[in-house]
Amino acid sequence: MPQMQQQLSEALTVLKQNHLKVTKQRKALLTYLLQNQDHYHDVTLVDDYMRQQFPGMSHNTIYRNIKEFENAGMVEQQVQGDQARVKYQCDFSHLHHHHFICQKCGKVTELKACPMDVFEAQLPGYEIVGHRIELYGICPDCQLAMTK
């Protein structure tokens, strides 16, 4: 089974495990996110895409589905300024992970190591209840393109 089909099959299984019906709209949303899983995408662009595919679909339905996917661990969201962005969860075997995001092309690379031990050592007596670490820079492909 090609990787994309396998990932879609896994995503549909996660939907069912979270008691979410498999609809053609949800399947289309998952397919779109899977096809673009190496970048975060503005939620408004995802909304535009879905409304082109399903003209009668409301903004609320699209945003609710994205939120349900996030609650099920299938998508990751980030907020930059006042703009929400979303991408497909890149690694179900490592739900806790961080990212390097290229500032030129927007490509997202997963980081498996977590530096929380360093921070916890600097905060004796504090209770950390959550964190999100993202590194920004220029990926090797963009660095190469800049030297040409």
Residues that constitute the known binding site for Fe cation: 96, 131
**Binding-site annotation: residue ranges:** 96, 102, 105, 131, 139, 142
The binding site for Zn(2+) comprises: 102, 105, 139, 142
CB-count exposure of residue 3 (10 Å: 0-12, 13-18, 19+)? exposed
Q: Which residues lie closer than 8 Å to 145 by C-beta, 6 or more apart?
A: none
Looking at residue 134, its amino acid is E
Do residues 105 and 70 touch, judged by C-beta distance below 8 A? no
